[in-house]
Amino acid sequence: MLDRAYAPYSKFHVGCALLTEAGKMYTGCNVENASYGITICAERSAISAAVAAEGPKMRVRAMVVLNSQTMACSPCGACRQVIYEFGPKSLVIYQGEGKLAEATAEQLLPAGFHF
């Protein structure tokens, strides 16, 4: 998915693959915009694809997020909340300092918002 990212401004390509509780795989990539605030991250792109395919009851089991710079980069705050919404116990694997890191969505967002 890294090669599909649209990142003409930052040149920071991010790809995500996720596994749902239903056993299906979905991918996403970051899509930048000149108005940076409306850029979509790879994690939310993959989750959107999963919801579009499986419906609103889709739940994330695990996801992997990688970037083209191979630098430490955990999901941003907005992505943490969206991941939490669809799988608070899901495993999130991302690039840490010199190696892959992993945490659950709850660990990444310990006081996640929910109704």
**Helices 42-54 and 77-86, packing angle to 10 deg:** 20
Q: Cβ neighbours of residue 35 under 8 Å, at least 6 residues apart? A: none
Strand order through the sheet with 100-104: 25-29, 14-20, 60-67, 91-95, 100-104
Q: Which residues carry out catalysis? A: 43
Quickly count: other Cβ atoms within 10 Å of residue 54's Cβ: 15
Strand partners, 87: none
Which of helix, strand or coil describes residue 93? strand
